[in-house]
A and B are shown apart, each in its own frame.
Chain A
């Protein structure tokens, strides 16, 4: 039986800005999910037996704050009414921050929403790609939103998409986050997904630049305790490396229905959420059904799911057989394999070299530099910090 751990719901495909690297194909559409569609989704999810003790719901794939707060207030109460007792449902918004005001801050606090704000660092980096439809930068409005969150004591994290320019400026990035009181940071890279072809990926020095950026940012954070409390890429990788040899591990993105995505019209997809909205004749556009006319529990029997799963599992098996980093990554991300290699049944991508391999190299390097002093005379021991 599948286990749903993450539910990605698109309340609207519309976004009030137009980032140059955005992969969402319908971001000018102002369609809105119907209340009945949400009822159909959550009633079926909860009745399916596919949820255990906790479910994360991310409202994303468009700018969630373009809809009024009353929409979410109503949606959350509907979900509360439908959910079984004992089940914890957490809500998360990924927002560009430009529409945050005091009323939204009060809503986040009241509903205990996990808030992620997309900001790409200081203005000169942020405004390079995160622009309005008229081509103007959005930094001023985003940072105003972040300052309101801080003033209202609403916890939040930021996701920053790194460009070649910002990767070359770790100190500047660090100083910016510290100055703005941003304590939790996640770094994405500009990827090739859907119709978007990454300019960063074309840079032959991108892997070394990414590793060097993370290394310096991490070092700065560790040398200024209490400023940056969470670097997702580092902490996540440390958790995957430092674990008992028999601890269970796996990769949500290659397990059917571990991540379930629903667009505003009720169409359901799984695996990488970015697949929803993309076109592909071989896999019927990755759509398994529509929650308004299909039973959720019938979706595992769809023939296109079987085709996708066959290819995804073939790719994971190839990774397991050939990749030194498999136990950290678990077989990669289907959407990146498809975008970069043209098929799920493939292995290495530029994306995984950057975000998995080079990050793992960095953490291993740090562990080995932290060898107990007095152990041999190699570089690790010489540079060690004297544990033990």
Chain B
């Protein structure tokens, strides 16, 4: 529960920034290499991931999500979060699959049309 509450507070601050703002904010939390000590955690990685996503779910008003199909979901959330995100890059949560080939270029990051 304590972990969930912490994540909820952090996600409440991070999520409205969009992915780019989150990169900046979280990167500034990192220690210098010389001082680096990974944070010790008892929880499994999968448990931490689940807790983070549940916190995000709470932050973004889940009632709206469950009523939508994927396409509507994408448009709804894309519009909402693109408006909140920085430089027009939102979170792109509605995409059913990730454009993750290492030499490809993600659709959400088309430099000519979307920025």
A interface residues (Cβ-Cβ under 8 A, vs B): 3, 5-6, 8, 54, 56, 58, 60, 88, 90, 92, 94, 112, 114, 116, 155-157, 159, 170, 184, 186, 188, 212, 215-216, 218-219, 221-223, 225, 229-231, 234-236, 238-253, 255, 258-259, 272-273, 324-328, 330, 360-361, 363-372, 375-376, 378-380, 383-385, 387-388
Task: Check B60 against A244 for contact (C-beta < 8 Å).
Answer: yes
Give bound CA distance, A366 to B104, whole Å.
27
Assuming A6-B101, A114-B111, A250-B97, is B30 touching A388 (CB within 8 A)?
A: no
Q: Which chain A residues lie closer than 8 Å to B28 at the CB level?
A: 219, 222-223, 385
Q: Assess the A327–B46 pair: CB atoms within 8 A.
A: yes
**Interface CB pairs A-B, < 8 A, 25:** A5-B107, A112-B113, A114-B110, A156-B111, A186-B102, A212-B36, A229-B20, A229-B87, A235-B19, A238-B26, A239-B92, A244-B62, A246-B65, A247-B53, A247-B73, A248-B95, A251-B98, A330-B98, A360-B45, A365-B30, A366-B30, A372-B10, A376-B2, A380-B39, A387-B13
Task: Return B111 CB to nearest CB of chain A, in Å.
Answer: 4
Residues of B within 8 A of A (CB): 2, 6-7, 9-15, 19-20, 22-33, 36-41, 44-46, 48-50, 52-54, 56-57, 60, 62, 65-66, 70, 73, 87, 91-107, 109-113, 115
- B37 partner residues in chain A, CB cutoff 8 A: 379
| Residues of the A chain whose Cβ atoms lie less than 8 Å from the Cβ of B106 | 236
For the complex formed, measure the closest distance between the CB of A229 and the CB atoms of chain B, giving whole angstroms: 7
Contact (Cβ within 8 A) B52 A367: yes
Output the least CB separation between A322 and chain B (Å). Answer: 11
